[in-house]
Amino acid sequence: MTVKVAIAGASGRMGRMLIEATLQSPDAVLAAAIDRPDSAFIGRDAGELVGNACGVLIGSDVETELAKADCLIDFTRPEGTFAHLQVAQKLGRAIVIGTTGFDADGKARIAAAAANIPVVFAANMAVGVNAVFKLLEVAAKMLSTGYDIEIFEAHHRFKVDAPSGTALRMGEVVADAIGRDLRQHAVYGREGHTGERDAETIGFATVRGGDIVGDHTVMFCGLGERVEISHKGGSRMPYAIGALRAAAFLQGKGKGLYDMQDVLGLR
């Protein structure tokens, strides 16, 4: 069944990639494209942003545009996502949320919305990254004793949150697998005389620079050996393709909160 999608943040980097992926997909139709009211692209053909005019004009009224679609795909900012969630609930539309940077209260708001509409919310939509999540679960259980756990991530200079949502999710997966509470054991920076490393901690290191799409590595560091599980993103297309799979997954689904593990059948 073909899913009709609306794309939020149409003129942004991820918005353009989503438009391109949708126009190339045999299973999705671009029904609407949404941008901020002050965007210079309002009224323009969304396809022109990726060199392929399609007849769908970019609009700013979320309710008007979302009414044309089955599902909204949102990779914007938390404040924008919350506004879009309200409209999706009003119209009874599904939503795929790839936005990152939510705090605990924000995640609770998304979960509350999922009591009314179907929602896919994931720290990372790429199929490869979600395969890594599964591998990390297995590795962490095997390497839970005698190995220090460190998580490295690198992204482009424009990313506004750190560590990345993907890195944090990696930390959660590892911590859950070995029975630790990430909130108690995470270390987000080291400087000066830090003392000997606490074996129970899970460390995070962040790099921001240039146009790095997204690199993530989890290291299990033992005495005399190191196991690394990595994912390196060469473009944003994998995230767009995963988001379209999520939108198709929601077709016919009732209200509820899902993630990419559900979409990919990895539960």
- CA angle at residue 89 from 77 to 160, to 5 degrees? 5
Residue 78 DSSP label: H
Active site residue 141: no
- The catalytically annotated residue of 4, 68, 159, 185 is 159
- The catalytically annotated residue of 84, 155, 216, 231 is 155
Query: How many CB atoms within 10 Å of residue 120?
Result: 28
> Could you give the CA distance from residue 68 to residue 29 in angstroms, rounded to a whole number?
11
Q: How far does Cα 81 stand from its chain's mean position?
A: 12
CB 18 within 8 A of CB 85: no
CB 202 within 8 A of CB 148: no
HSE-CB of 217 using CA atoms within 13 angstroms: 12
Active site residue 159: yes
> Could you give the CA distance from residue 205 to residue 137 in angstroms, rounded to a whole number?
20
> Could you give the CA distance from residue 9 to residue 77 in angstroms, rounded to a whole number?
9
Which residues are identified as catalytic? 155, 159
